[in-house]
């Protein structure tokens, strides 16, 4: 059956099921860690983080990672900061207690005391700020348009320096890469199903631009990155 990517097609993803078996959930989180590593998510975000670090002149860069999942992105950024001498203070939040537990264990394994995770519903829960950088990665496409607007507005309110959104592009090339990549990089059947579904639910670049304008993120820049990713970067005026 041909896949129509002209419009968003949001379908329930297996990872979003709160009744998902713990072993399967953890297996999927490890699989997504490999996918994110292959996609170089830390490299996409790192230039903006180093720019803020230069502005702060040695002060810790406070980062909030919304929907932090298994914690691999926050941990990867903290490790990169440790290697390069950039002082980061990273908080990750996720609605899933199991994901938060998994992420906390990962930070402990890597001996990172500057990364903390907490269980919070980023759309309806309480998030304290401000942070220098508020970011999310591969979360926006999970949301209906009204909740996506709520997320962008909350990120704007919490960020003093930058809002960063790294996500999928809804393209045919992206769909093919997701289908193949998820099968090559992990044996998790959860990821095999959810990867292509995520691309079908993703926003086009024009849709992201419109959302940003509607939410007061005027002047945000959009750049494209391999493999079929985009980065929205907004700075308060």
What is the tens place of the pLDDT at every residue in 73-131? 999 999 999 999 999 999 999 999 999 999 999 999 999 999 999 999 999 999 988 99
φ/ψ of 226, rounded to 5, equals -70, 140
Residue 33, burial from CB neighbour count under 10 angstroms (0-12, 13-18, 19+): buried
pTM of the model: 0.95
In whole angstroms, what is the distance from residue 227 CA to residue 185 CA?
14
In whole angstroms, what is the distance from residue 11 CA to residue 194 CA?
9
Instruction: Report residue 25's pLDDT band, with 50, 70 and 90 as the boundaries.
Output: very high
Cβ–Cβ < 8 Å for 120, 95? yes
In whole angstroms, what is the distance from residue 206 CA to residue 191 CA?
27
Domain residue spans in the chain? Answer: 21-234
Verify cis geometry, omega within 30 degrees of 0, for the bond prior to 227: yes
For residue 65, pLDDT beyond 70 = yes
Order of strands, sheet of 221-225, starting from the edge strand that comes earlier in the sequence: 115-119, 88-94, 61-66, 131-137, 159-168, 229-234, 221-225
- Regarding the domain delimited by 21-234, which CATH topology (the fold level of the hierarchy) does it fall under? Rossmann fold (3.40.50)
Residue with the larger pLDDT of the pair 237 and 63: 63
For residue 1, pLDDT beyond 60 = no
Mean pLDDT of 6-21: 92
Say what the pLDDT of residue 215 is: 97
Say what the pLDDT of residue 28 is: 92
For residue 2, pLDDT beyond 80 = no
């Amino acid at each position: 059956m041909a896949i129509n990517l002209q419009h968003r097609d949001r379908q329930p993803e297996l990872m979003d099921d709160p009744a998902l078996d713990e072993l399967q959930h953890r297996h999927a989180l490890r699989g997504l860690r490999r996918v994110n590593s292959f996609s170089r998510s830390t490299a996409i975000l790192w230039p903006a983080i180093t720019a803020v670090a230069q502005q702060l002149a040695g002060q810790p860069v406070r980062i909030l990672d919304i929907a932090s999942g298994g914690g691999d992105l926050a941990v990867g950024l903290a490790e990169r900061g440790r290697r390069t001498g950039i002082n980061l203070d990273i908080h990750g939040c996720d609605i899933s207690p199991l994901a938060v537990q998994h992420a906390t264990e990962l930070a402990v394994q890597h001996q990172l005391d500057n990364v903390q995770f907490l269980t919070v519903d980023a759309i309806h829960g309480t998030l304290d700020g401000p942070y220098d950088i508020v970011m999310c990665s591969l979360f926006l496409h999970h949301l209906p348009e009204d909740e996506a607007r709520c997320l962008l507005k909350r990120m704007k309110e919490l960020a003093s320096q930058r809002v960063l959104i790294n996500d999928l592009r809804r393209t045919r090339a992206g769909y093919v890469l997701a289908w193949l990549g998820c099968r090559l990089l992990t044996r998790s059947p959860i990821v095999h199903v959810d990867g292509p579904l995520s691309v079908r639910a993703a926003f086009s670049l024009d849709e992201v631009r419109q959302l940003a304008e509607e939410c007061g993120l005027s002047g945000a820049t959009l750049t494209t990155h391999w493999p079929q990713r985009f980065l929205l970067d907004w700075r308060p005026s």
